[in-house]
């Protein structure tokens, strides 16, 4: 084989490799986001039952709910607003609260939700924050959900 004839083969292999890398990057970084409002819930529960599960065994509850779509029912205790986010908070008087960041297309409805209203929401569980030092100071832990959508409301 001549020296000059290796160059087209090398360039072809490099081009195929580059194309393969671009396809993988596109699939990993630009895949469509999961539509939580249309997803089937993995868990259907109430705010009280969710809080009770975390109070009994927070590690087990976290593993059970982690990255799952949760449909829950509870009474709104407060409506929290920041720059562009609206969250509904549920407080059953226990050592934990549930805070659900609402999907942007649900913000207007969330802002109009009256405290004490019983609602059903479907959202993605993203984690919880509980610190025994904060608990000693009277602060509550927080179960976090995001991309919340009202169900039959």
Domain co-membership, 74 together with 132: yes
Domain co-membership, 7 together with 81: no
Q: Are 145 and 123 in contact (CB under 8 A)?
A: yes
Q: Are 146 and 121 in contact (CB under 8 A)?
A: no
Domain co-membership, 14 together with 89: no
Residue 25 lies in a domain: yes
- Report helix, strand or coil for 34: coil
Residues in CB range of 87: below 8 A, 6 or more apart: 79, 80, 81, 99, 100, 101, 102, 110
Q: Determine the pLDDT at residue 139.
A: 61
Q: Determine the pLDDT at residue 98.
A: 93
Question: Residue 152 is inside which H or E element, if any?
Answer: none
Residue 37 lies in a domain: no
Domain co-membership, 135 together with 62: yes
Q: Determine the pLDDT at residue 145.
A: 94
Give the number of domains in the chain: 2
CATH at 135: 2.40.50.140
Per-10-residue mean pLDDT for the chain, 153 residues long?
72 90 82 79 93 89 92 94 89 83 91 92 90 58 92 73
Domain co-membership, 126 together with 56: yes
For residue 52, what are the domain limits? 43-150
Q: Determine the pLDDT at residue 125.
A: 95
Give the separation between CA 50 and CA 96, rounded to whole angstroms: 10
Query: How much is the pTM?
Result: 0.73
- Taking each helix axis from N to C end, the angle separating 58-65 and 47-56, rounded to the nearest 10 degrees, works out to 130
């Amino acid at each position: 084989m001549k020296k000059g004839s290796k160059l087209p083969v090398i360039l072809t292999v490099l081009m195929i490799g580059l194309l393969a890398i671009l396809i993988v990057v596109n699939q990993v970084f630009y895949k469509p986001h999961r539509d939580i409002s249309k997803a089937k819930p993995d868990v259907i529960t109430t705010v009280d039952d969710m809080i009770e599960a975390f109070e009994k065994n927070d590690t087990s509850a976290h593993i059970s709910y982690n990255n799952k779509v949760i449909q829950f029912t509870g009474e709104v205790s407060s409506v929290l607003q920041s720059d562009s986010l609206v969250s509904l908070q549920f407080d059953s008087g226990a050592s934990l609260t549930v805070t659900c960041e609402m999907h942007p297309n649900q913000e207007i409805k969330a802002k109009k939700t009256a405290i004490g209203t019983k609602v059903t929401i479907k959202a993605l569980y993203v984690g919880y924050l509980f610190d025994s030092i904060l608990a000693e100071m009277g602060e509550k832990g927080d179960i976090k959900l995001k991309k919340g959508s009202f169900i039959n409301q």
